[in-house]
């Protein structure tokens, strides 16, 4: 019973990570490759763009770290709830605790997915803005 919940959570997390990796690969493919000829000295506009890019990436990684921390906290709470199910005295009490555990698990998964999508949308907007506005 719990194996299925964790298996579904794992599949959802893996697919989310795969989507992010694929998207990152596509974004990186859009950047021009370094020329083999002599590279001209960087201009102020290029330095400004590079600085903005660094800020964007640092901010994105910070948000991802916060999401991972929230996910681990939710997993810890879920484990505590799983062990609390053993304390059920009657079948009705057991059913109530299991139902509540399922609700908490799916609510946690929903919140994590929404947070990832919000961060993805925010990062996409900032990256598109950075790519479209001349520095």
- Alpha carbon of residue 42 to chain centroid: 34
Among residues 22, 27, 16, the alpha carbon closest in space to that of 56 is found at 27
Domain boundaries, the chain: 44-135
70 pLDDT band, cuts 50/70/90, is confident
Among residues 103, 115, 96, the alpha carbon closest in space to that of 77 is found at 103
- Alpha carbon of residue 14 to chain centroid: 10
For all residues of the chain together, what is the average pLDDT? 81
The predicted-structure confidence for 1-60, as pLDDT tens digits, reads as follows 677 877 887 888 888 888 888 888 877 777 766 555 555 566 777 888 888 888 888 888
Q: What is the pLDDT of residue 53?
A: 85
CB 108 within 8 A of CB 82: no
Residue 66, CA atoms < 13 Å, CB-side half-sphere: 9
């Amino acid at each position: 019973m719990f194996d299925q919940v964790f298996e579904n959570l794992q599949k959802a997390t893996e697919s989310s990570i795969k989507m992010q990796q694929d998207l990152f690969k596509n974004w990186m493919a859009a950047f021009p490759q370094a020329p083999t000829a002599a590279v001209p000295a960087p201009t102020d506009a290029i330095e400004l763009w590079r600085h903005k890019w660094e800020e964007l990436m640092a901010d994105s990684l910070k948000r991802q770290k916060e999401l991972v921390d929230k996910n681990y906290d939710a997993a810890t709470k879920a484990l505590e709830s799983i062990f609390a199910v053993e304390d059920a005295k009657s079948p009705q009490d057991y059913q109530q605790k299991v139902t509540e555990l399922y609700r908490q698990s799916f609510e946690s998964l929903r919140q994590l997915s929404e947070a990832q999508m919000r961060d993805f949308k925010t990062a996409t907007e900032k990256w598109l803005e950075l790519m479209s506005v001349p520095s």
